[in-house]
């Protein structure tokens, strides 16, 4: 995906719908530019009429005009920024929603390949850079470009010779900015990688904190944390260094320009080619132009950050599922709940050995069938193939004479409940965890499912009973209690097929 394609995609999907606010922000930017330019322009008559000619007729009008100009600039700048902040937040939410939607619907195999911390970093770190590109960069482009044009106009009106000398710094600064922008894109990518590593480490650390304690690995984990934090700190230092590198460059260029201008304008004043009031108006315009020039030269850095982030975010949003309905997919019709594995071959990665090789099995409906085998023999893999979490590369899985790759995923999974090997619960109430499988379940149905899973009795002993919050992944419950809640959740779905992965 090249820059043009990225810009087009970001505009069509995220910016276009906010054009009204962007246009209004641009209009307010015009007021900012015109009021800023008028401030520099008003210094000409202020110095000439009031201080040189000692004309008292304008002693109130010009100061009031300057106040009005500053007030107009302040109000307009507030309005322009507020509108673009709203646009930025809405774009940020849309990007995060599209990414989360893609991840929620992604193939299990794709999620397994990348640590959750990396996705969290994409969701926060990268989205921020794209939002800056689509909101802050647009505001800078409008506001500072128009302001610079207005101030340059004032400068050329006052003295075109001095203006030509002044604008030499703009292309010089742009060359430095372009070089720094390319450097920034690379560093930001590296920083995002380090941020993802840190978040991944934290997710694992919090999940396994009891293991760290029982094996007394606090010092070891502290050293690991220091390594991750140091790596991220070093990258952030580089980013900060690149960002502020423009400051000394701009200061030096500005100092050189002012020195040249004072020298040259002094000669022009002596020759009578420019008045003092014209010079001070010109100088004010040039000094006011410093900020927009600096912002515009730094804009290339923001753009490169946003483009780099887009190259990481958009592929996640655009990722297509390999496991999906086909044109011939039909609703699954359950008759006996008979499941048949026919010559199944499966491997997790193309370059790995087969986990399942020429597997032929038949599970009769209406009965409980147990898979017995040593650890790592593929029992969990077999169960995960039935709801199509993974796809065998050869062979067929058939439910009641219907190949599961020929039925819709929705109807297939509607008829299957799963109690996984690693019990997974949500940081919510017991009631909501049970009814997660059936949002329309009544309290009576929830209680009945709990009784069938032998969890009703211990739930009733809790202070808040079914409204008890169980913490992240059920941390406030014992292992057995968590598993029974998980079984209740599977049973309340009333599926034709229940898969129990080592649930005791």
Place of tokens 């017995």: 372
Going by C-alpha positions, the residue among 341, 338, 398, 397 that lies closest to residue 366 is 338
> Within a 10 A sphere around the Cβ of 54, how many other Cβ atoms?
8
Higher-scoring residue by pLDDT: 84, 250: 84
Q: At CB < 8 A and 24+ separation, what contacts does 7-15 make?
A: 9/310, 9/314, 10/130, 10/133, 10/134, 10/310, 13/94, 13/98, 14/91, 14/94, 14/95, 14/134, 15/87, 15/91, 15/134, 15/138
What residues does each domain of the chain span?
A: 3-318, 325-414, 415-504
Place of tokens 């390319």: 182
Mean of all residue pLDDT scores within the chain: 87
Q: Which two tokens stand for residue 47?
A: 């110095």
Are 325-414 and 415-504 the same fold in CATH? yes
**pTM attached to this predicted model:** 0.82
Q: Which two tokens stand for residue 249?
A: 């460059």
- Give dist(CA 403, CA 400) in Å, integer: 8
> In the predicted model, is pLDDT for residue 391 greater than 60?
yes
Going by C-alpha positions, the residue among 362, 343, 363 that lies closest to residue 354 is 343
pLDDT at 48 (0 to 100): 78
Helices vs strands, H then E, count in the chain: 18, 6
Confidence of residue 63 (pLDDT cuts 50, 70, 90): confident
Q: 3-class SS at 69? A: helix
Q: At CB < 8 A and 24+ separation, what contacts does 9-16 make?
A: 9/310, 9/314, 10/130, 10/133, 10/134, 10/310, 13/94, 13/98, 14/91, 14/94, 14/95, 14/134, 15/87, 15/91, 15/134, 15/138
- pLDDT above 90: percentage of residues in the chain: 42
Confidence of residue 458 (pLDDT cuts 50, 70, 90): very high
- Give dist(CA 148, CA 293) in Å, integer: 7
- How far, CA to CA in Å, does 157 sit from each of 40, 48, 97, 265, 336? 12, 16, 51, 15, 89
Averaged pLDDT, 118-136: 88
- Give dist(CA 396, CA 390) in Å, integer: 13
Place of tokens 């990518």: 189
pLDDT at 76 (0 to 100): 95
**Order of strands across the sheet with 394-399?**
356-363, 339-346, 394-399, 402-403
pLDDT tens profile 98-114: 999 998 888 888 888 87
> In the predicted model, is pLDDT for residue 404 greater than 90?
yes
- Give dist(CA 69, CA 284) in Å, integer: 14
Least confident of 102-106, 280-284, 330-334, 471-475: 471-475
pLDDT tens profile 219-230: 888 898 899 889
Higher-scoring residue by pLDDT: 52, 339: 339
Confidence of residue 503 (pLDDT cuts 50, 70, 90): low
Strands 394-399 and 497-500: unpaired
Contacts of 341 (CB under 8 A, 6+ apart): 359, 360, 361, 362, 382, 385, 395, 397
> In the predicted model, is pLDDT for residue 414 greater than 60?
yes
Confidence of residue 504 (pLDDT cuts 50, 70, 90): low
pLDDT tens profile 174-216: 777 777 777 777 788 888 888 888 888 888 887 777 778 777 8
> In the predicted model, is pLDDT for residue 449 greater than 90?
yes
pLDDT at 345 (0 to 100): 94
> In the predicted model, is pLDDT for residue 469 greater than 80?
yes
Q: Which two tokens stand for residue 318?
A: 């655009």
CATH class as words, domain 325-414: alpha beta
pLDDT tens profile 437-446: 998 999 999 9
Higher-scoring residue by pLDDT: 116, 363: 363
Confidence of residue 357 (pLDDT cuts 50, 70, 90): very high
Question: Treating both helix axes as pointing N-terminal to C-terminal, what angle do 137-158 and 61-104 enclose, rounded to 10 degrees?
Answer: 150
Confidence of residue 27 (pLDDT cuts 50, 70, 90): very high
- The CATH topology of domain 415-504 is Rossmann fold (3.40.50)
Averaged pLDDT, 349-368: 88
**CATH number listed for the domain at residues 3-318:** 1.20.1560.10
Higher-scoring residue by pLDDT: 87, 352: 87
Confidence of residue 238 (pLDDT cuts 50, 70, 90): confident
Region of 349 on the Ramachandran plot (φ > 0 left; ψ -120 to 50 alpha; else beta): beta
Q: For the chain, percent helix, then strand, then coil, each to nearest 5?
A: 70, 5, 25
> In the predicted model, is pLDDT for residue 480 greater than 90?
no
């Amino acid at each position: 995906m090249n820059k043009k394609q990225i810009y087009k995609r970001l505009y069509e999907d995220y910016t276009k719908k906010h054009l009204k606010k962007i246009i209004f922000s641009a209009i307010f930017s015009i007021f900012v530019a015109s009021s800023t330019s008028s401030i520099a322009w008003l210094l000409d008559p202020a110095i000439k009429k009031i201080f040189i000619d000692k004309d008292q007729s304008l002693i109130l009008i010009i100061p009031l005009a300057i106040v009005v100009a500053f007030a107009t600039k302040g109000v307009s700048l507030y309005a322009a920024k507020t509108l673009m902040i709203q646009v930025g937040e809405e774009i940020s939410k849309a990007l995060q929603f599209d990414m989360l939607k893609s991840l929620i619907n992604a193939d299990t195999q794709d999620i397994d390949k990348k640590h959750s911390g990396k996705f969290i970093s994409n969701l926060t770190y990268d989205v921020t850079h794209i939002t800056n590109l689509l909101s802050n960069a647009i505001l800078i482009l409008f506001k500072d470009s128009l302001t610079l044009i207005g101030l340059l106009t004032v400068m050329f009106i006052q003295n075109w010779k001095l203006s030509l000398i002044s604008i030499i710094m703009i292309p010089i600064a742009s060359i430095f900015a372009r070089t720094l922008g390319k450097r920034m894109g690379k560093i930001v990518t590296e920083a995002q990688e380090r941020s993802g590593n840190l978040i991944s480490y934290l997710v694992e650390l919090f999940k396994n904190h009891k293991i760290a304690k029982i094996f007394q690995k606090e010092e070891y984990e502290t050293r690991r944390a220091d390594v991750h934090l140091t790596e991220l700190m070093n990258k952030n230092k580089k980013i900060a260094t690149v960002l502020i590198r423009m400051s000394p460059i701009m200061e030096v260029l500005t100092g050189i320009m002012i020195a040249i201008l004072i020298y040259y304008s002094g000669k022009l004043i002596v020759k009578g080619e420019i008045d003092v009031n014209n010079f001070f108006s010109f100088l004010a315009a040039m000094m006011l132009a410093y900020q927009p020039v600096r912002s515009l030269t730094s804009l290339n850095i923001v753009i490169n950050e946003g483009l780099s982030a887009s190259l990481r975010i958009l592929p996640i949003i655009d990722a297509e599922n390999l496991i999906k309905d086909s044109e011939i997919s039909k609703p699954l019709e359950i008759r006996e709940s008979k499941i048949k594995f026919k010559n199944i071959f499966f491997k997790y990665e193309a370059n790995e050995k087969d986990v399942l090789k020429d597997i032929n099995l038949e599970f009769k409906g209406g009965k409980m069938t147990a898979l017995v085998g040593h650890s790592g023999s593929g029992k969990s893999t077999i169960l995960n193939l039935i709801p199509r979490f993974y796809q065998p590369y050869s062979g067929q899985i058939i439910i009641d004479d219907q190949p599961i790759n020929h039925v819709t995923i929705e109807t297939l999974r509607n008829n299957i409940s799963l109690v996984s090997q690693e019990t997974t619960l949500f940081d919510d109430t017991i009631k909501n965890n049970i009814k997660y499988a059936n949002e329309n379940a009544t309290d009576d149905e929830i209680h009945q499912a709990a009784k069938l899973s032998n969890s009703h009795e211990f739930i009733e002993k809790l202070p808040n009973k079914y409204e008890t919050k169980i913490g992240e992944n059920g941390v406030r419950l014992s292992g057995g209690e968590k598993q029974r809640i998980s079984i209740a959740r599977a049973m309340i779905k009333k599926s034709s097929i229940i898969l129990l992965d080592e649930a005791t």
